[in-house]
Structure 1
Amino acid sequence: MSFPPSQTILLTGASGFLGRHVLWHLLRRSDSGTRVYCLLRPEAGVDISQRLHALLTPAGGPLAAGARERCHAVSGDVSEAGWFHQRTPELPLAEVDRIIHCAATVKFDAPLAEARRINVDGTRYLLQLAEELHARGRLRRVDYFSTAFVAGKAAGRVYEDRLDPTQFNNTYEQTKWEAERLVREAQQRLPITIYRPSIIVGDSKTGYTSNFRVLYWPLKVLASGLVIVVPADRQGIVDVVPIDYVVEAFEALSRSVQSIGKCYHLAAGPERQSSCGELLELAAEFFGVRDPWMIPPQVSYRLVRPLLYSVFWGKRRALLRTGELYFPYFAYRASFDTSGARADLNGAGTEAPSVKHYFRNVMQFCRDTNWGRRPPAG
């Protein structure tokens, strides 16, 4: 059973990398009766309608005639209590029958209070709105984007239907875990589906991305040719998925009523996940640099790190601090089970590709845009 095609959707996080692609996909695939209302934080001196228009252009190319007219900007901050009770004449709450929550801070080094305000409180307030809409009998579904990295420091197989207590590498993982716990509790009362993407990179065909963080940062450093030693475990698990797979899998799963109450890993999974060794070899070959030596991160942290901090100052020390944010993922030991997603996507023609099949496209986009410093051609 599928949902009726025409919907009135409230989307949060449209200004982010994932949310922008979800929005473009909705406008491209939905029928002319579907309207999308995008909650955007107000910025001084910036018209939110113009901001939304600018967000649409680079994400997915041209849209069909009339698609932009079905997309509306709503001024508000999801992390403010009761934002939906404030005067928002541009948002017809009584007509909203679907909520898609993409808004989050993805900064690994955000202070815990800030990360909780956005990721946990923002989710809590959105669930309060969902409760009100559901009580009116209007709400059909809520789609919540979590992350596969709620697994934190866990090792071994991580399952879609579990949210186990764990330790965390950063405030992003911790607050997304706390937020998903709220969502799972509300899932007992509301029509909610949870999606857990792993590391998202650019489009598998064009390489397009607007986000050059996470995996991109260490690859950019490697591309400079100045790196000869990397604190990484060659066998460390790196689960990477392209943005087009994430949004296509999301769309296919969200069309079905049967997805309500479930949680899906939108990940490469054990069958197609990569490793630190494979990724570094692919990058070294593409950029024509030497394949770096790898030393265990714990050895690097204990012996090499103090030495580097004693001789590095200014920008080099800042670069070292930035790199440390990503060190836990250079020796990652969790593998994301995708059994549920693969079973429910069976027949949809959507499956996560292996990174080696699209890696060159992603890196070519980085080279062509100088890692986001130049606009993409065309």
Structure 2
Amino acid sequence: MVKGFFFTGFPGFICNQLIREVLKSNQLNGSVFVLILPDMVASAKKESAAIIAEYGLDESTFHIIVGDITKPFLAITEEEQEVLQHRVTHVFHLAAIYDLAVPRDIAQKVNVNGTENVNEWVRRLPNLDRYIYFSTAYVVGNREGTLYETELIAPPGFKNHYEQTKYEAEVLVETLKKEVPVTIIRPGIVKGHSNTGETIKFDGPYFIMNFLDRLKFLPLIPRLGKGEAFVNLVPIDYIIKATTYLSQLDKAAGKTYHLTDPHPYRASEIYEIMMQEMLNKQPKGMIPLTIGKWFLSIKPLRKFLGVEKEALDYFTWKGQFDCTHAVTDLKESGIACPDFKDGVKPMTAFYLQEKNNPTFQINIL
């Protein structure tokens, strides 16, 4: 049977790159089906045309399906449901609200209710080979210490609504493992491509770059807290290659993987490395994180600095992700997480090139 790859989250950056890698790994064979919201038709057509041109695909390979994961049966027409029922072999569910500052109601609607609807839809696919669900390593919430891929434990609390709703969504997907071949992907904090630095939005580690860029006029720039916590940053190319490989690996069915850096750096080290690369400076002095959070509670200040206040929670959280299963199952493929330090130059160059482009900066609320 010809493979049929169904994606939610198109035309998001991770989804776009994942489609390319999946097609390449299958020698450009198979059909692609992307579920998009009605207001995304224009951008979806533009991105799909780029993929078709890039690989010389027949236009009949790529199918844009208008729908909505927050609606029953994904709001897909009966005619299209009939086609998908027979042709879909792999489902990649990436659609989610990824913003750390997302309100609870929106996160619940998209991340939890949306995933429940996708789960119900997946259950009805007679030719399903694999359901790949994109979670996050941070479903662990406020749990600390060593955190394992085999665990899905309700934490004592969460740092934000994003973490909480992704945990609740993963619980729903975990129960599905009894019925369908599921692979759960838990990435760390995703950054741009390790070789090119390319990304489409400056969040996560780029908040540090925004902070440093806004304060570069100062003769001395202090540290933000002690920075003893490990911050797990992973380049998008590792996530894409690893996910594609695991989606076609038989023994990955029924497993959950931490796609995280097995050798992460401390927050203070990342801060120093970025400052050296961007400004050729080293930090002097320290601002306690409590004061930093107070500053970021003032809307004009956090907008000026380009930093969400929720991001500071990751500077103090003391958890480390065990990624033994991922490292072991990826070993034969040669796919491994690049060292953060090796990708800093292209990451910084791309940031400096695009920092004034408003399409890359997220709206700080």
User: What TM-score, normalized by structure 2, do the two folds share?
Assistant: 0.89
User: Please, which of 144, 162, 168 is the counterpart of residue 178 of structure 1?
Assistant: 168
Offset of residue 373 of structure 1: 4.5
Offset of residue 331 of structure 1: 1.6
AA aligned opposite 2:159: N
8 Å Cα contact 2:195-2:346 kept in structure 1: yes
User: Please, which of 29, 36, 57 is the counterpart of residue 40 of structure 1?
Assistant: 36
What is the aligned partner in structure 2 of residue 237 from structure 1?
Answer: 230
What is the aligned partner in structure 2 of residue 12 from structure 1?
Answer: 8
AA aligned opposite 1:362: M
Residue 198, structure 1, aligned to residue 183, structure 2? no
AA aligned opposite 2:289: P
Offset of residue 349 of structure 1: 0.8
What is the aligned partner in structure 2 of residue 164 from structure 1?
Answer: 153
Offset of residue 79 of structure 1: 1.2
User: Please, which of 42, 51, 65 is the counterpart of residue 56 of structure 2?
Assistant: 65
What is the aligned partner in structure 2 of residue 140 from structure 1?
Answer: 129
User: Please, which of 141, 144, 154 is the counterpart of residue 152 of structure 1?
Assistant: 141
Seen in structure 2, the aligned counterparts of structure 1 residues 61 and 240 have a Cα distance that, compared at 3 Å, is farther
Q: Deviations over 1:213-264 (max 9, x none)?
A: 1111221221231572343332211111110011111111111111000000
Q: Deviations over 1:33-90 (max 9, x none)?
A: 31110000011xx6x2x422423578x8972211664222110111112325644538
Structure 1 segments of 4 or more deviating over 6 A?
none
> 1:185 & 1:246 partners in 2: Cα distance?
24
Seen in structure 2, the aligned counterparts of structure 1 residues 374 and 117 have a Cα distance that, compared at 3 Å, is closer
Offset of residue 267 of structure 1: 0.6
Residue 112, structure 1, aligned to residue 95, structure 2? no
Seen in structure 2, the aligned counterparts of structure 1 residues 360 and 117 have a Cα distance that, compared at 3 Å, is same
* Alignment map for 1:231-270 (pairs within 5 Å): 231-269=224-262
Offset of residue 138 of structure 1: 1.4
In structure 1, runs of 5+ residues without a counterpart are: none
Seen in structure 2, the aligned counterparts of structure 1 residues 67 and 333 have a Cα distance that, compared at 3 Å, is farther
> 1:121 & 1:62 partners in 2: Cα distance?
35
Q: Deviations over 1:109-143 (max 9, x none)?
A: 2111110110011110011011111xxx3111100
Residue 288, structure 1, aligned to residue 282, structure 2? no
What is the aligned partner in structure 2 of residue 78 from structure 1?
Answer: 69
Offset of residue 275 of structure 1: 1.3
Q: Deviations over 1:170-207 (max 9, x none)?
A: 00000000000001111111110000000111111111
8 Å Cα contact 2:148-2:321 kept in structure 1: yes
> 2:34 & 2:22 partners in 1: Cα distance?
12
Residue 219, structure 1, aligned to residue 219, structure 2? no
AA aligned opposite 1:249: A
> 1:170 & 1:191 partners in 2: Cα distance?
30
Give the share of equivalent positions with the same residue, in percent: 27
Residue 210, structure 1, aligned to residue 200, structure 2? yes
> 1:160 & 1:266 partners in 2: Cα distance?
10
> 1:75 & 1:235 partners in 2: Cα distance?
46
8 Å Cα contact 1:116-1:175 kept in structure 2: yes
What is the aligned partner in structure 1 of residue 363 from structure 2?
Answer: none
User: Please, which of 38, 54, 57 is the counterpart of residue 46 of structure 2?
Assistant: 54
Offset of residue 366 of structure 1: 1.0
8 Å Cα contact 1:37-1:73 kept in structure 2: yes
8 Å Cα contact 1:98-1:140 kept in structure 2: yes
> 1:67 & 1:232 partners in 2: Cα distance?
54
> 2:307 & 2:195 partners in 1: Cα distance?
29
AA aligned opposite 2:168: E
SS at match of 1:325: helix
> 1:12 & 1:226 partners in 2: Cα distance?
43
Residue 325, structure 1, aligned to residue 317, structure 2? no
Residue 335, structure 1, aligned to residue 335, structure 2? no
Q: Deviations over 1:261-304 (max 9, x none)?
A: 000000102xx201111111111111225433334424655xxx
User: Please, which of 260, 270, 274 is the counterpart of residue 265 of structure 2?
Assistant: 274
Offset of residue 330 of structure 1: 1.4
Q: Over aligned residue pairs, what C-alpha RMSD do you find?
A: 2.5
8 Å Cα contact 1:120-1:179 kept in structure 2: yes
> 1:260 & 1:374 partners in 2: Cα distance?
37
Q: Deviations over 1:6-42 (max 9, x none)?
A: 4111100022222121122223332343111000001
> 1:193 & 1:152 partners in 2: Cα distance?
21
Seen in structure 2, the aligned counterparts of structure 1 residues 88 and 364 have a Cα distance that, compared at 3 Å, is farther
SS at match of 1:63: helix
In structure 2, runs of 5+ residues without a counterpart are: 361-365
> 1:186 & 1:261 partners in 2: Cα distance?
9
> 1:38 & 1:255 partners in 2: Cα distance?
19
Residue 347, structure 1, aligned to residue 340, structure 2? no
What is the aligned partner in structure 2 of residue 360 from structure 1?
Answer: 345
8 Å Cα contact 1:37-1:71 kept in structure 2: yes
